[in-house]
Amino acid sequence: MPLKLIIGPPNSGRTGAILDGFRAVASQDPVLVVPTVDDVERFEGELTRDGGAVLGASVGTFAQLFRLVARTTDATIGPVLSRTQRRRLARESVSRAELKLLATSSKRPGFPAALEELISEVQGALIDPVTLRERARDAGPYEVEIAALYQAYVEVREELGRHDDHSLSAATTATLRARPDSWGSRPVFLYGFDDLTLDQLELIRELVRTAPVTVALPWEDRESLTEARGALFAQLRDTDGVEIERLDSVPSFTESTTLFELERRFGEPAEDGEPVANDGGLALLASAGELAEVEAVGAEVARLLDDGVAPGEIAIVLRDPRSAGPLYRRVLERFRIPVAVQADLAATRTVTGAGLVSLLHAAVGRGRATDLLAYLRTPGLKSPAAVDWFERRLLRGRLRTADEGLSEWNREGENGNRGLPEIDKLRAARPGGALLREAGAQARWIAERAIRGEAAVAGEDRALELRAGAEIEAALSELAELDLPHSATDVIAAVSELDVPMWRGPTEGRVRVISPYRARAQRVAHMFVCSMQDGDFPRRDTAGPLLSDDARAGLTLPERKKAEAEDRYLFSVCLSRPKRRLWLSWRCADDEGGATSRSPFVDQVRELLAPRLPADLDGRDEILAREAGGRGLAESVFEPGKAPSEDELARAEAATGLTAAGVDDRLREVIAARLAAAADAIADHRLRPGPLRLHPVLERIGAIELFGPSTLEEYAVCPYRWFVRHELRPQRIGPEDEPLTSGQIAHRVLEALYESPPGPEPRPTPESLEAWRGRARDLIAELGAGRLPRERADTAAALRKVEGLVLAFLADEAATATAFRPAHTEAAFGMHDSEKGPLPLAGGGVHGQIDRIDIGPGGEALVQDYKSGAKVDGGAGMLEKRGRLQLQLYMLAARELWGLELAGGIYRPLGGTGDRTPKGLLRKGLADALAGLDLRPKDHLDDERFEGALAEARSRAEEIIAAVQRGRIGRQPIGGSCPDWCGYQPICRRERGLPEDEPFSEEDTEE
């Protein structure tokens, strides 16, 4: 029987020719074979249009053709492996093969998928394991291991009594060859294929012996088509008795002359024709940043819909919709544009898949506490507030294992004692089919959890999750059918490798986001080819994941398609698909403003238009920038007249102060109402934290009478920081910072040492230093056990650091020749159990706890305050500049409450590794008595300046108390700029590094 080839460029009417031929033999029960399930639906619709169903019509993919031929010829075949099952067999082959060179690579997550893809390619090239092994012996040891993996895969498949697509095709073709009359003369039509594997070609050649076969190929003698797709035409052209029907490109298929000429001339020598005038068929979009590009495309799509274009007549093409598709779906849905992203999404990028993997890791996998936390964070599973507090306990308790976390979650009196029965079920399931089926049931439960008990139709996000749950359950059920040892690792790997379709169902009435491969058999009025970046489209050519080009040649495998040639062909296809207009969109900058390179395809297309681009690079960017629309870095909103939705219009008018023309009264009322509501919500007094105004709040805060020195310092640094930390009191979710914890332990150790000295002297001396050090080590081990346990690697180092700080401090003390002796440690005043009352100040008082008071030979008091950091402030000027009050207030307390004469006060840095010089305020007249302490001369003040510094500190403290009691809470950091270490910016919302006037004055607070 004859083989008929219908060849022609994309706009040649091949679709009509193949359908006409199909209808002409409808009574003979023909078969139409197309590449994808989407094409099946499309052609079934074409064939049933205008006259109802075609008698005996059958449309299917190549895999369905093999099954149909197998049934017709009574070929003996077993069950066919799914893709998930094939990957499981690839993983099993890794465990059976003896690997050396590939041992490390085989443990990586993507190895089984890459191996399955390579094995499929080898099978499609009709190379059996024996042949590949013989070729590998001559190629090298690496290739020998690849051949061993292939052999192991085939052995596992045969043990299971299963077929994959390629073994099915071999069995089917062999049966058809033995019984050619079993198929009869049933016609076969192929459309949409531009490449076939050798086993597919073998079936076609066998069918040609008994039945008429018609193949429509997108081919003509052009460089861009010949390089990428010439092989298939050459293979079919050499068939005996082949009949070739050549079709010419038909201009009427494209309404734009510009688009027709671009498609015909792209990739051909530029000197072959004059430049083409743009009749509006080509538009350019250049945007700054990925989100800006998607929004610019969405705005153009919205305008097309507003002009009456049907959503189904618009397509957005992405070279990799799997990666960028979710962003397009999110933005277009925000613009209220119906969209269908026809691409797969990794199951682990869905809430359901990620939650299930975390659950499996926690229950039967690596068993980390963080896995349990990640599972509990799955939306719709548990109360976010309960999980927040659980995370706090987990981090503060430094829990490591899932069992430790589970015990904490189930702790008596918390979380309703509900437990997590799903973990028990998974652990109770035996490895193998039981574990797979239970994991599948948990996937479905996670997907349905958020809508259980709700009588509502699932929206698109929830529909994706339900689809993910169903896909995972089905895939794990397929694996349970295989008689293989399925471990927990295998189950987790299977879920991690699974893909979920982002859209399933008819796409009528929706804008489609598709790949160039899907675009090949689609005609639309308007097409956007997006993310035209150098390295994305076209991609940079890289070797295959397992075999280099040299290795492929050594195994006599078909030559790998070059990425640039493949993408050039796909782009030329995109040029032919729109009937009215084509948009080329790229990013001129990334999200941080860095320059990015557009695809060379953009320049090559633009060079075909008049006026042509300059021959060199100079001037190209400027010309394209003038011609291109899009979004720039500074454009945070749309121009009002270009806003794609009501929300975007309201945002644009509010930001620009401009009003869009042509808006009807109803919409204008809606916009006005939204702007009014937004204006009220963002009123100045609500945006900017200011003075407290509510009477109950002012009454409560005005009743505060006692303040700690650190509290007053906090207010001096920034009033709003004090308010957040001491009144709002946000709870830290993790453990305290290691320096803070270390400092607290060091304080407690020094307090215990000086209260009960390990010797006759009240302070260490060179002779007693070792005794003090020994006692210090014991105290550190005792007091630090609960805060920084040594059995954990991270905290053991911190505890060692505490030990170093304390021992260094004691060494400094022993080396200091001074007559001052410790008299009071942790001297508390104004506390509920202290002997001394508060230090009285105007409007209130101060309470606190002085680390140490030393007494000199003349009864003079030296106040000491330990600081866990490496740096401390000293000198009257620096203390005032930094808002420091603690040391001065402690000295006033020592004088007024203990009745001591003051020699001064110093801060003692514990954290310094080099210079640990104390700093503070000292009486110059007592310099001789203080000489042995190695203090800075510039910290010594005469009596007048010393007393002035104390009086200034008292006055500043009283001002702060009065301001607090009046509710004067403003974002006024000391020095006019926020300190780098402050983490409250998300709460106060003050711009870092920028001067910002507060919206109130002192008079406002007095009203």
Is residue 591 a contact partner of residue 561, using CB atoms and an 8 Å limit?
Answer: no
b/e for 232-261, b at 16 or more Cβ within 10 A? bbeebeebeeeeeeebebeeebbebebbbb
| Site of tokens 């920034």 | 718
Q: Which residue has the higher pLDDT, 733 or 295?
A: 295
Reported as a pLDDT band with limits 50, 70 and 90, residue 1002 is very low
Q: Could you give the 3-state DSSP secondary structure of residue 340?
A: strand
For residue 36, the model assigns a pLDDT of 81
Q: Tell me the whole-structure pTM to 2 decimals.
A: 0.79
Q: Could you give the 3-state DSSP secondary structure of residue 60?
A: strand
Q: Which of 242-256, 576-590, 664-678 has the lowest mean pLDDT?
A: 664-678
For residue 37, the model assigns a pLDDT of 79
For residue 961, the model assigns a pLDDT of 95
Question: What does the pLDDT look like over 411-450, one tens digit per residue?
Answer: 755 545 467 899 999 999 988 999 999 999 999 999 988 6
Other C-beta atoms closer than 10 Å to the C-beta of 626 total 8
Report which of 93, 40, 95, 72 is spatially closest to residue 172, judged by C-alpha positions. Answer: 72
Is residue 397 a contact partner of residue 378, using CB atoms and an 8 Å limit?
Answer: no
Strand partners, 862: 854, 904
Strand partners, 4: 214, 243
Report which of 820, 905, 878, 825 is spatially closest to residue 854, judged by C-alpha positions. Answer: 820
pLDDT for 1004 beyond 50:
no
Question: What does the pLDDT look like over 824-869, one tens digit per residue?
Answer: 999 999 998 888 999 999 999 999 999 999 999 889 999 999 988 7
pLDDT for 345 beyond 80:
yes
pLDDT for 457 beyond 60:
no
pLDDT for 814 beyond 50:
yes
Q: Which of 49-58, 366-375, 950-959 has the lowest mean pLDDT?
A: 49-58
Is residue 179 a contact partner of residue 210, using CB atoms and an 8 Å limit?
Answer: no
pLDDT for 217 beyond 70:
yes
Going from the C-alpha of 792 to that of each of 399, 733, 786, 798, 909, the distances in angstroms are 10, 20, 12, 10, 27
Q: Which residue has the higher pLDDT, 690 or 39?
A: 39
pLDDT for 607 beyond 60:
yes
For residue 417, the model assigns a pLDDT of 47
Contacts of 124 (CB under 8 A, 6+ apart): 166, 197, 198, 199, 200
Reported as a pLDDT band with limits 50, 70 and 90, residue 736 is low
pLDDT for 148 beyond 90:
yes
Q: Could you give the 3-state DSSP secondary structure of residue 632?
A: coil
DSSP state of 253: G
Compute the average pLDDT of residues 574-578: 92
Compute the average pLDDT of residues 331-355: 93
Compute the average pLDDT of residues 182-187: 90
| Site of tokens 């029987």 | 1
For residue 1003, the model assigns a pLDDT of 38
Contacts of 231 (CB under 8 A, 6+ apart): 195
Whole-number average pLDDT of the chain? 86
| Torsion angles phi and psi, residue 822, rounded to 5 | -60, 130
| Site of tokens 């297309």 | 605
381, 384, 390, 392 alpha-carbon torsion, rounded to 10°:
150
Compute the average pLDDT of residues 938-954: 94
pLDDT for 678 beyond 80:
no
pLDDT for 334 beyond 50:
yes
Is residue 961 a contact partner of residue 715, using CB atoms and an 8 Å limit?
Answer: no
Q: For a pLDDT cut of 70, what percent of the chain falls above it?
A: 92
Q: Strand pairing of 844-846 and 524-529?
A: unpaired
Contacts of 635 (CB under 8 A, 6+ apart): 292
For residue 394, the model assigns a pLDDT of 87
Q: Could you give the 3-state DSSP secondary structure of residue 80?
A: strand
For residue 791, the model assigns a pLDDT of 57
Q: Could you give the 3-state DSSP secondary structure of residue 820?
A: coil
Over its C-alpha atoms, the chain yields an Rg (Å, rounded) of 39
- What is the Cα–Cα distance from 562 to 564, expressed in whole angstroms? 6
Q: For a pLDDT cut of 90, what percent of the chain falls above it?
A: 44
For residue 1000, the model assigns a pLDDT of 42
- What is the Cα–Cα distance from 953 to 272, expressed in whole angstroms? 87
270: left (phi over 0), alpha (psi -120 to 50) or beta: alpha
| Torsion angles phi and psi, residue 107, rounded to 5 | -90, -5
- What is the Cα–Cα distance from 464 to 452, expressed in whole angstroms? 16
The first and second tokens of residue 328, run together, are 């397009």
Residue/partner pairs of 356-359 with CB below 8 Å, 24 or more apart: 356/439, 356/442, 356/443, 356/446, 356/472, 356/495, 357/492, 357/495, 357/496, 359/422, 359/423, 359/426, 359/442, 359/446
The first and second tokens of residue 451, run together, are 């809508």
Question: What does the pLDDT look like over 913-936, one tens digit per residue?
Answer: 667 889 999 999 888 888 878 788
Other C-beta atoms closer than 10 Å to the C-beta of 37 total 12
For residue 990, the model assigns a pLDDT of 77
Reported as a pLDDT band with limits 50, 70 and 90, residue 1007 is very low
Q: Dihedral sign, CA of 627, 628, 631, 634? A: negative
Q: Could you give the 3-state DSSP secondary structure of residue 918?
A: coil
Compute the average pLDDT of residues 752-758: 90
- What is the Cα–Cα distance from 752 to 783, expressed in whole angstroms? 10
**Which ranges constitute the DSSP H helices of 308-432?**
321-334, 351-364, 369-376, 384-396, 402-409, 421-428
For residue 135, the model assigns a pLDDT of 93
Q: Dihedral sign, CA of 172, 176, 178, 182? A: positive
